[in-house]
Amino acid sequence: MIAIVDYGVGNLFSLQSSLKAIGAQVTVTGDPNILRQADKLILPGVGAFGDAAKQLRETGLAQVVYNEAKKGKPILGICLGMQLPFEKSYEYGEHPGLGLLQGEIIPMAGQIPRRLKIPHIGWNALILKQKNHPLFRYIQPGDCVYFVHSYYAAHCETSLIATAEYGIELTAAAAYENIMGCQFHPEKSGSVGLNILKAFHEFPKS
């Protein structure tokens, strides 16, 4: 069973529906016991890093996610949920993350050419840095996924598995052992996104 971590941030309807569509058993919960029992966790998130990180800590779920990750449970972060496992973020100040992945979250502004719009919104092609990563089992280079973000993970060479070109190469997906994340929205990326969720669903249990 896959548990979507519900810490009061964002709308989880589409994510839940997409997991049902690939045949996964899924629950949306903020109950630590259910999260501990689940085979896999999905960490969602929208909005600003600082607010979401605070919410995750205040609900006590940051510690639950951290402990489960350290036990080896497969975890997939999505969008802001992909950024939270890194060490820190510079979105409106400086905020600590979960520290499960090396690297930090920085603004695109100043890094990408001025002619490009921020946020990076729309469909962009994946550039696979680790073609054989289990998440990409059903993915071809050049497959497009849907992005909406203004910040991205940098200095994350140890976990970088895919990028997307937007003036520079932005981190699109990261993975280190059982901790994985997609900057894009697999639940909004058509069949390509469903295939990534399917690959996560099939990822070996710890």
Partner 1 sequence: MITKRIIPCLDVKDGRVVKGVNFAGITDVSHPVKLAKFYSDAGADELVFYDITASVEERNLFTEILTEVAASIFIPLTVGGGIRTLGDFDRVLKCGADKVSVNSGALQNPNLIKEAAQRYGNQCVVLSVDAKRVQGAYHVFAKGGREDTGLDLLDWVRRGVDAGAGEIVLNSIDTDGVKRGFDLEMLKAVCEVVSVPIIASGGAGSIEDFITLFQTLPQVDAGLAASIFHFGEIAIPDLKQALAEQGIIVRR
**165 is known as an active-site residue:** no
Choose which of 105, 194, 196, 199 interacts with partner 1 (CB under 8 A): 194
| Phi, psi dihedral angles at 53 (to 5 degrees) | -65, -40
Does residue 11 interact with partner 1 by CB under 8 A?
yes
Active site residue 79: yes
Q: Is 195 in the site for partner 1 (CB under 8 A)?
A: no
**CB closer to partner 1, 66 vs 123:** 123
User: What's the residue count for the chain?
Assistant: 206
Residues whose CB falls within 8 Å of the CB of residue 58, separated by 6 or more in sequence, listed in order: none
Return the number of the residue (34 or 121) whose C-beta is nearest partner 1. Answer: 121
Distance of alpha carbon 105 from alpha carbon 12, whole angstroms: 23
Q: Which C-beta is closer to partner 1: that of 5 or that of 194?
A: 194
- Buried b / exposed e over 105-134, threshold 16 CB at 10 Å, is bbbbeeebeeeeeeebeeebebebbeeebe
* CA-closest candidate to residue 75, choices 123, 121, 36: 36
58 belongs to the catalytic site: no
Determine contact, residues 59/66, Cβ cutoff 8 Å: no
Question: Which of 64/105 has CB closer to partner 1?
Answer: 105
Which of 79, 91, 104, 182 is catalytic? The answer is 79
Residue 198 contacts partner 1 per CB under 8 A: no
For residue 142, the minimal CB distance to partner 1 (Å) is: 8
- For residue 11, which amino acid is it? N
Measured distance CA(71)–CA(185) in Å, rounded = 26
By CB under 8 A, residue 125 contacts partner 1: yes
What would the two tokens of residue 167 be?
């003036």
Give the footprint of partner 1 on this chain (CB under 8 A).
11, 13-14, 17-18, 20-21, 46-47, 117, 119-125, 144, 146, 148, 165-166, 187-190, 193-194
Provide the annotated active-site residues.
Answer: 79, 185, 187
